[in-house]
Amino acid sequence: MVSRGTRSCAEGARQAVAELVRDEDAQIILMLAGTQVLPAVADACEAIGTPCLSSAFPWQVYYYGRGADEKRPFSWTYRWGLDDIAEIFADLWERMDDARRPVGCLWNDGPQGTWSRHPQHGFAPAARARGHHLVDPAPYREGAGDLDRHVRAFADAGVGIVTSAATGQDLGLLRARAREASCHPRLITCSRWPAYPPAVTRAGELPAHADVATLA
């Protein structure tokens, strides 16, 4: 296995793919990347005919998000999908005693949130097909601290489970605000969690990562 850094930019990502294929004879590109770098890596792999596999983002985000459709498919983009995540999380939810209580959605206004709620290709239709009622307030902006509407919506709906693709900071903030409002979800599932280390909290506080279920 060989590696190259992307410098966290699209140009660096394209250069890294070119070097790996040209200089190292790479047969597959495995990446852990964000919303700016990942599409550039996938496009570069598509251009040279090398399989591209993401270990962080579901394929819908960087497949349909790059303009693919049934008439113009990509040939070299691979990954598990939002529907797979929904099925795994639904299995976890349905082990709860109150599994049929509403599920609150903490989804941002970026590509992850947009595709999670997509009516055909997202997380939401797969979860609803399992019989779960989703409470999805308006999208939030990451790091802005504006999660009060989510807490109110979850409390009003009697949410027992929260599902999310949030950063550790935002998920920790939601939990703090929820406690203040006496809203206590019994389970949180978060697909983005493996990419973030446990948050450091003050003495006596519940860590943001406690009781959070994620993908193995």
* Residue-by-residue DSSP string for 136-176: --S-B-TTS---HHHHHHHHHHT--EEEE---HHHHHHHHH
Residue with tokens 């993908």: 215
3-state secondary structure of 12: helix
* pLDDT tens for the chain, residues 1 to 216: 899 989 989 899 999 999 999 999 999 998 876 677 888 898 999 999 999 887 767 777 777 778 777 777 888 877 778 888 999 999 999 998 777 889 999 999 988 899 899 998 889 999 999 999 999 998 999 988 889 999 999 999 999 999 998 888 898 899 899 999 999 898 999 887 655 555 544 444 545 555 677 665
Q: At what angle do helices 168-180 and 148-157 cross, to 10 degrees?
A: 60
- The residue among 134, 145, 200 whose CA lies nearest residue 170 is 145
Q: How many CB atoms lie within 10 A of CB 53?
A: 16
Task: Look up the pTM and report it.
Answer: 0.73
